[in-house]
Amino acid sequence: MKNNADLSINFCGVKFENPFCLSSSPVGYHAEMCARAFDAGWGGIVYKTLGLEKSFKVVMPSPRLNAYHVGDKRFVGLQNAEQITDRPIADNIKDLLWLKKNYPNKVLISSIMGYVDEDWTELAKMSEDAGADLLELNFSCPQMAHKHAGHRIGQDFHAVAAFTEVVKKASKLPVIAKMTPNITDMIPVALAAKEGGADAISAINTIRAITDIDIDNFTPLPNIHGNSSPTGYSGKAVKPIAMRFVSELCNSKQLNLPVSAMGGIETWVDALHFLLLGATNLQVTSGIMRYGYRIVEDMIEGLSDYMIERQIKSLDEIIGKAAQKIVDPSDFNTRYQVVSVIDENKCIGCGQCFISCQDGANQAIKFDAATRKVSVNEERCLGCLLCKHVCPVWDCISYKEVDTSYTKHAAIF
Amino acid sequence: MKKPIDTQNIILHKCMRETLTLEAAIKESNRCLLCHDAPCSAGCPAGTDPGKFIRQIKFYNYKGAARTIRSNNILGSVCAHICPVEKLCEKACSIKALEDPININGLQRFATEYGKIHKLEPLKRSKKNNGKIAIIGCGPAGMSCASQLAKMDYDVCIFEREPSAGGVIKWNIPEFRLPEDALNYDIENLANQGVEIKFNSAIDSKESLNKLKSEGFEAVFISSGLSEAFMLDMFKTYTNALDYITFLRQVKFGKDKLNLKDKNIAVIGGGSVAIDSAVSAKSCGANRVYLISLEHLAELPADEEEIKLAQLMKIIFKSGSQVTGVIQDGNIITGIKGIEIDWVQEGKFTPDNARQVSGTEFSLNVDLVVQAIGTKPGKEVGNFAEGIKTKGKGVIMVNDTFETNIPWIFAGGDVVNGGATVVQAVAEGKKAAESMDKYLKNRR
């Protein structure tokens, strides 16, 4: 029998039945799609970013996607040249009203993007009137055709603070400021948003990237009638970068705002990673674009089982559990040293560890040609665990702590 | 991951497997562990080096893969189709400890076909400034030896008694196993090296061999294969009892005359060529095709894959059985009589070790008997190379370096090993070429 754990969260005073939300993107393009997402089990949706067509008429470039494939692994990352919604504001507002009426217990977040103060005010008011529970301010779309929008605003502390303030004045709703990762340090921008009155931060928006180039016609992809541009990159490939930014946001004492995290979430394990770093709310797009809304079933069931197994009653008990373990490299305890341990019974003799150690580490692995078995020369082992990471048998190579009274041989010549 | 056999193609006399698409090749090469010591490469007698060409495919270096295959194995395309990989390279594959072995011949076929489509000429032309060498017989061993010698800039001429190249590959390997294009492409590669092939040119007498010497050939490589099939005495006088060499050649090049539609065929033998014969008969519309072998099903010398193929083609296995006589109408066989056997001594699969089991007698109505019980070298070998040492069924004796007892004569392939795989013949041809090079250098 399935016994679900309590996955509910409170984010900016709003209760979510679970932390899983659609992020603002094509997966929340209109009411019918959002309804299906709710039916599949998503706790909330961030609707596709609204804009005012009287200020700027959006036309989508075409084709607007390119996927990053690695060998036979398809869709490791996704590049998009998507703009904010190209649907009329009136239609979108009708959709929001319909969604709130039909799904009163689900959370509706309206993502908005203005170009001048008046736009932000109008969009915030319209969203609130349409029944949105929260607002998300899109300061981060990296490919807006409008020159004074998206990540260009998100890199400008003053603009972020000012527009947030405008929105806070116009609406009583809690406000999430969505950050761009196309910046060296996200904290100052997040602080600017806080200064403007933001109640939470969401991150990361997509990373500017070039995913491919057609080597026959020298055109990067997506090939938009002969041209391309470094546009928003997302999906599993960006998760490590997203985790870094989210960790920095969650660990900033000065910021001290709840975080809605996104970037490469596909499974409950990905979701858990972000929760452990300190995020309260989670958003997904690329995973849905690849696999559909149904992936939330496995996220709910997987996270639920994890909690039940460990007798975790509420997500609050685990949010941020990994945060304090993230320190500056200068704080590492380097008196702790390890060497690789190879389980000879599990070794299949491929020698990949040997090659990698030979050319990428310190020649600490010996390959016995006759037995096709490998062994570690602990005197030379740097404990880098490159061998463990290239081994095709997942649990063949482990490591152990060694006495650090001797100095490791860094080089022989 | 192998693609399944398409039995429909067998009936259409087309290759029973589809080639790997680029997508499938990328997927398959990405399964490879790229082992340090590449046991697959060590498992290839001819040194085709799958470890390297799979790595090249994985890193999108498809032309490089085609070059690797071709420079190591002039019969790269043929071997990609017919090599018993599960006994060689794939047997050694490390990933078998975790999952199915890499589909090595599939990848080899992909790479060679990629080379063909892109008009790759992987081998340079011989400068022909390093002496003249004659090769007798343009089969796998002869082609391999010629290619290797051409790489060393010898002026090589192959004398072939048939009007086409390929030997056993050309005449006896059915189309469902090997499309004609694959062999033709290998021959084309050999020709691009500047190797001359003289067709309808049998070297079968002392005079013809001496003529080679007088024409300036400094060494000879005999790779004339096995041309004479064994026949059971009980079938010798009948017109509808064929040996597999004759039968397979007729299926490939004279189907219409053979007229096997709705006929019952008995194939005697349990090896690869017996299975090829049985499946060929079925592909020509035969009704009931029996495979009669002394060996029991689990003991058949044919590969597992071949046995599976025969099963798919609804061949009737009369395994562990012996033919005891014929039912005839004049000089035509109308049926055969047989009986099941046990072995007197386990593990010895010879007729004299068989014990008939009474009460298991059977008789079958058959319209044709095909015998696939072995072959031996033709008599011509003794004729032209007078005094050459042979052994057993007449195979030529050579030392480790493929030298015969006659100084300028070398030999390799089936005529030496008594009948083995194509890849083994390729290996022997290569080694003999190295040895001939050494011999000629020492002489100068």
Report d(CA B359, CA B339) in Å as an integer.
Answer: 8
Q: Which residue has the higher pLDDT, B2 or B177?
A: B177
On whether any CB of chain B is under 8 Å from the CB of A70, the answer is no
Considering the domain boundaries, does residue B205 fall inside one?
Answer: yes
**Span A377-398, mean pLDDT?**
96
Burial of A325 (0-12, 13-18, 19+ CB in 10 A): exposed
Tell me what pLDDT residue B385 has.
82
Predicted confidence (pLDDT) per residue in B238-291, tens digit:
999 999 999 999 999 988 888 899 999 999 999 999 999 999 999 999 999 999
Report d(CA A26, CA A83) in Å as an integer.
Answer: 10
Which ranges constitute the DSSP H helices of B119-254? Answer: 140-151, 168-172, 180-192, 206-214, 244-253
Tell me what pLDDT residue A99 has.
98
Q: Within 13 A of B344's CA, how many CA atoms are on the CB side?
A: 7
- Do B367 and B428 belong to one domain? no
- Report CB contact under 8 Å: A71, B95: no
What is the rounded end-to-end Cα distance, in angstroms, of chain B?
52
Report d(CA B55, CA B60) in Å as an integer.
Answer: 9
**Taking a C-beta distance cutoff of 8 angstroms, is the pair B210, B336 a contact?**
no
Contacts of A367 in chain B (CB under 8 A): 36-37
Mutation site, B35, B40, B96, interface A, largest A CB count within 10 A: B35
CA angle B41, B33, A67 (to 5 degrees): 130
B401 Cβ contact partners less than 8 Å away, ≥ 6 residues apart: B431, B432, B434, B435, B438
- Do B366 and B236 belong to one domain? yes
* Tokens coding B293: 């072998």
A353 Cα to chain B: minimum distance (Å): 9
The residue out of B68, B94, B117 marking a domain boundary is B117
Nearest to A349 among B30, B34, B94 (CB): B94
Cis amide linkage into residue A222, ω under 30° from 0: yes
Predicted confidence (pLDDT) per residue in B134-173, tens digit:
999 999 999 999 999 999 999 999 999 999 999 999 999 9
- Do B249 and B271 belong to one domain? yes
Residue A405 has pLDDT above 80, yes or no: no
Tell me what pLDDT residue A3 has.
64
Least confident span in A116-120, A321-325, A358-362, B379-383: B379-383
Contacts of A350 in chain B (CB under 8 A): 33-36, 94-95
**Taking a C-beta distance cutoff of 8 angstroms, is the pair B95, B102 a contact?**
yes
B278 Cβ contact partners less than 8 Å away, ≥ 6 residues apart: B265, B267, B289, B290, B291, B310, B313, B315, B370
Tell me what pLDDT residue B5 has.
85
Report d(CA A206, CA A323) in Å as an integer.
Answer: 23
- Say how many CB pairs under 8 Å bridge A and B: 42
Nearest to B58 among A71, A352, A369 (CB): A71
Tell me what pLDDT residue A231 has.
96
Ordered DSSP codes for A99-151: HHHH-TTSEEEEEE--SSHHHHHHHHHHHHHTT-SEEEEE---TT-SSTTSTH
Predicted confidence (pLDDT) per residue in B374-432, tens digit:
999 988 888 888 899 999 999 999 999 999 999 999 999 999 999 999 999 999 999 99
Considering the domain boundaries, does residue B402 fall inside one?
Answer: yes
Ordered DSSP codes for A19-71: SEEE-SSGGGSSHHHHHHHHHHT-SEEEEEEE--TTT------SS-EEEEEET
Report d(CA B434, CA B145) in Å as an integer.
Answer: 9
Predicted confidence (pLDDT) per residue in A118-166, tens digit:
999 999 999 999 999 999 999 999 988 888 888 888 899 999 999 999 9
- With cut-offs at 50, 70 and 90, classify the pLDDT of residue B294: very high
CATH number at residue B218: 3.50.50.60
List for chain B the helix, strand, coil content (%; round to 5): 40, 20, 40
- Report CB contact under 8 Å: A350, B94: yes
**Span A290-297, mean pLDDT?**
97
- Do B269 and B215 belong to one domain? no
Nearest to B35 among A72, A73, A351 (CB): A351
Considering the domain boundaries, does residue B124 fall inside one?
Answer: no
- Minimal CA–CA distance to A111: which of A82, A132, A142? A132
- Do B234 and B367 belong to one domain? yes
Q: How many residues does chain A have?
A: 413
**Residue A265 DSSP SS3:** coil
Residue B6 has pLDDT above 90, yes or no: no
- Do B272 and B182 belong to one domain? no
Residue A262 has pLDDT above 90, yes or no: yes
- Report CB contact under 8 Å: B30, A369: no
- Do B214 and B265 belong to one domain? no
A241 Cα to chain B: minimum distance (Å): 26
Considering the domain boundaries, does residue B69 fall inside one?
Answer: yes
- Do B233 and B222 belong to one domain? no
Tell me how many domains chain B contains.
3
Query: If you ran DSSP here, which 8-state letter would residue B293 be given?
Result: E
- Chain B residue nearest residue A393, CA to CA: B98
Report d(CA B208, CA B242) in Å as an integer.
Answer: 31
Considering the domain boundaries, does residue B300 fall inside one?
Answer: yes
Considering the domain boundaries, does residue B307 fall inside one?
Answer: yes
Considering the domain boundaries, does residue B363 fall inside one?
Answer: yes
Tell me what pLDDT residue A147 has.
82
Domains recognised in chain A with CATH numbers: 9-325 (3.20.20.70), 333-402 (3.30.70.20)
Tell me what pLDDT residue B72 has.
97
* Tokens coding B444: 């100068």
Amino acid of residue B256: D
- Chain B residue nearest residue A392, CA to CA: B33
On whether any CB of chain B is under 8 Å from the CB of A367, the answer is yes
Predicted confidence (pLDDT) per residue in A24-39, tens digit:
999 999 999 999 999 9
**Taking a C-beta distance cutoff of 8 angstroms, is the pair B426, B140 a contact?**
yes
Amino acid of residue A381: C
- With cut-offs at 50, 70 and 90, classify the pLDDT of residue A408: low
* Tokens coding A402: 């060694």
Predicted confidence (pLDDT) per residue in B78-100, tens digit:
999 999 999 999 999 999 999 99
- Report CB contact under 8 Å: A72, B98: no
- Do B184 and B305 belong to one domain? no
**Span B37-64, mean pLDDT?**
97
**Taking a C-beta distance cutoff of 8 angstroms, is the pair B234, B338 a contact?**
no
- Chain B residue nearest residue A74, CA to CA: B27
Residue A407 has pLDDT above 60, yes or no: no
B112 Cα to chain A: minimum distance (Å): 20
Residue A413 has pLDDT above 80, yes or no: no
Q: Which residue has the higher pLDDT, B303 or A286?
A: A286
Amino acid of residue B181: D
- Report CB contact under 8 Å: A351, B36: yes
**Taking a C-beta distance cutoff of 8 angstroms, is the pair B163, B200 a contact?**
yes
B435 Cα to chain A: minimum distance (Å): 28
Residues on chain B bordering chain A, Cβ-to-Cβ distance under 8 angstroms:
26-27, 30, 33-37, 39, 58, 94-95, 97-98
List for chain A the helix, strand, coil content (%; round to 5): 35, 20, 45
- Report CB contact under 8 Å: A348, B27: no
- With cut-offs at 50, 70 and 90, classify the pLDDT of residue B17: confident
- Report CB contact under 8 Å: B26, A350: no
On whether any CB of chain B is under 8 Å from the CB of A359, the answer is no
Of the residues A12, A21, A34, A141, only one is catalytic, namely A141
The helix (H) or strand (E) run that includes residue A160 is helix A157-170
On whether any CB of chain B is under 8 Å from the CB of A44, the answer is no
* Tokens coding B269: 């033998």
Q: What is the dihedral of CA B84, B87, B90, B93, to 10 degrees?
A: -170
Q: Within 13 A of A136's CA, how many CA atoms are on the CB side?
A: 34
- Chain B residue nearest residue A390, CA to CA: B33
- Do B238 and B140 belong to one domain? no
Tell me what pLDDT residue A410 has.
55
The residue out of B352, B371, B390 marking a domain boundary is B371
| Average pLDDT over all residues of chain A | 95
| Average pLDDT over all residues of chain B | 95
The residue out of B90, B117, B144 marking a domain boundary is B117
Cis amide linkage into residue A204, ω under 30° from 0: yes
- Do B23 and B154 belong to one domain? no
A158 Cα to chain B: minimum distance (Å): 48
The helix (H) or strand (E) run that includes residue A356 is helix A352-360
CATH number at residue B49: 1.10.1060.10
Ordered DSSP codes for A332-378: --TT-EEEEEE-TTT-----HHHHHHHHHS-S-EEEETTTTEEEE-T
Q: What residues are paired with A47 via a beta bridge? A: A110
- Do B351 and B402 belong to one domain? no
Q: Within 13 A of A126's CA, how many CA atoms are on the CB side?
A: 22
Domain around B111: 7-117
**Span B52-76, mean pLDDT?**
97
Report d(CA A353, CA A362) in Å as an integer.
Answer: 12
**Span B219-240, mean pLDDT?**
95
Q: What is the ipTM of this complex?
A: 0.86
Q: Is the dihedral of CA A80, A84, A85, A86 positive or negative?
A: negative
B64 Cβ contact partners less than 8 Å away, ≥ 6 residues apart: B53, B56
Query: If you ran DSSP here, which 8-state letter would residue B378 be given?
Result: -
- Chain A residue nearest residue B51, CA to CA: A350
Residue A65 has pLDDT above 90, yes or no: yes
On whether any CB of chain B is under 8 Å from the CB of A116, the answer is no
Report d(CA A402, CA A360) in Å as an integer.
Answer: 22
Percent of chain A topping pLDDT 90? 92
Considering the domain boundaries, does residue B176 fall inside one?
Answer: yes
B108 Cα to chain A: minimum distance (Å): 18
Q: Is A141 a catalytic residue?
A: yes
